[in-house]
Amino acid sequence: NAGVTQTPKFQVLKTGQSMTLQCAQDMNHEYMSWYRQDPGMGLRLIHYSVGAGITDQGEVPNGYNVSRSTTEDFPLRLLSAAPSQTSVYFCASKGQGNYGYTFGSGTRLTVV
Amino acid sequence: AQRVTQPEKLLSVFKGAPVELKCNYSYSGSPELFWYVQYSRQRLQLLLRHISRESIKGFTADLNKGETSFHLKKPFAQEEDSAMYYCALSGSNDYKLSFGAGTTVTVRA
């Protein structure tokens, strides 16, 4: 049982480049979320999904897109990377009735 | 709107001393409160949830609805407790989790 798997672990992008952060879970969880972690700001919700085909915006959605074509996968796309998107990104999933989220190991992204 | 406040960014205690991490929240309905811990460069792990009223690794937390607080306590801190601690909140019928800014705990020998 792998839990929540994020790839890549590290990434350096140039300003203006696009990329996709991958997130997959094997627990058949309905709910999945993407957070960014910045010093002094805690974790802020970017986008979330309550099931396949359903996504919505969180606190800081600008510059990011998501899709949920399957229950297992919830990729996060950076459309045109900016230095302000330098952060650590965490994906998390939660099953219905399960009170706690399970987090992935994170992707450390640097935009230069 | 839901909001979680952790007033202490840094907390330093000596091994064997008590430690208390403060968490205050605002939420109009019935919240569910959690404490997550993140050891150095690792993923976040669920430490406690208020609904289970359990003690994990010697930590306890009591939900005080009158004071809208969910402080985390441990009577005798250990060096392995050094980590970042996040308080988090979700609504009873809500799947969105809101986090505080986090408190970095350092336990000195």
Please indicate whether, in this complex, the C-beta atoms of A100 and B9 are within 8 angstroms of each other: no
DSSP symbols for A66-92: E--SSSSB--EEESS--GGG-EEEEEE
Dihedral (Cα; B23, B25, B31, B36), 10-degree rounding: -30
What DSSP assignment string belongs to A41-58? Answer: TEEEEEEEEEETTEEEE-
Question: What single string gives the DSSP state of each residue in B16-68?
Answer: TS-EEE--EEE-SS-EEEEEEEE-TT---EEEEEGGGT--BTTBEE--BTTTT
Backbone angles phi, psi at B80, to 5 degrees: -70, -5
pLDDT above 80: residue B52:
no
Q: Give me the residues of chain A with pLDDT under 70, please.
A: 1, 98
Band the pLDDT of B31: cuts 50, 70, 90. confident
Which pLDDT score, from 0 to 100, does residue B50 have? 82
Phi, psi of A22 (to 5 degrees): -95, 145
Contact state of A101 with B46 under an 8 Å Cβ cutoff: yes
**Is 80 exceeded by the pLDDT of residue B93?**
no
Q: Answer whether A103 sits within 8 Å of B9, measured CB to CB.
A: no
For residue A42, the chain B residue with the least C-alpha distance is B101
What mean pLDDT value characterizes chain B?
92
Question: What pLDDT sits at residue B94?
Answer: 73
- Tokens (6 digits) for B63: 């939900």
Interchain proximity A45–B96, CB inside 8 Å: yes
Nearest to B43 among A40, A94, A105 (CB): A105
Query: Which of B52, B95, B98, B103 is the mutation pick for testing A, counting most A CBs within 10 A?
Result: B95
Residues in CB range of A73: below 8 A, 6 or more apart: A22, A23, A24
User: Quick one: pLDDT at residue A1?
Assistant: 62
